[in-house]
Amino acid sequence: MATWIAHMRIAEYFMDNYASLNNTAFLVGNIGPDCGVPNNDWSQFTPDGNITHWKTGDKSTIDAEGFRRIYLQAKYEKYPFFMGY
């Protein structure tokens, strides 16, 4: 898992080059998948990474197409957040 600063640097590139993504919601969306609440020893997070990273039954496969189909079809108020996510 990349550190938050790596996610933010990548977001910064897009924010500098695409005016429609230059907002706080897009930046927060970039770190959103890694913002789960840890248990006492930080061995598990809520929600689980399988949920926040849209993993299928195979833990190495991410359902990017499913995410796109549900959240990126229509541009609405939360669109920049989901683009970052």
Listed by start position, the domains of the chain span: 24-84
Best CA proximity match to 67, nearest among 46, 50, 82: 82
Helix (H, G, I), strand (E, B) or coil at 62: strand
Q: Which of 32, 12, 29 is nearest to 82 (CA)?
A: 29
For 8-66, the pLDDT digits (tens) are: 999 999 999 999 899 999 999 999 888 889 999 999 989 888 788 888 877 778 899 99
- Both tokens of residue 45? 């997070």
- DSSP 3-state assignment of 35? coil
Statement: the pTM of the whole predicted model exceeds 0.85: no
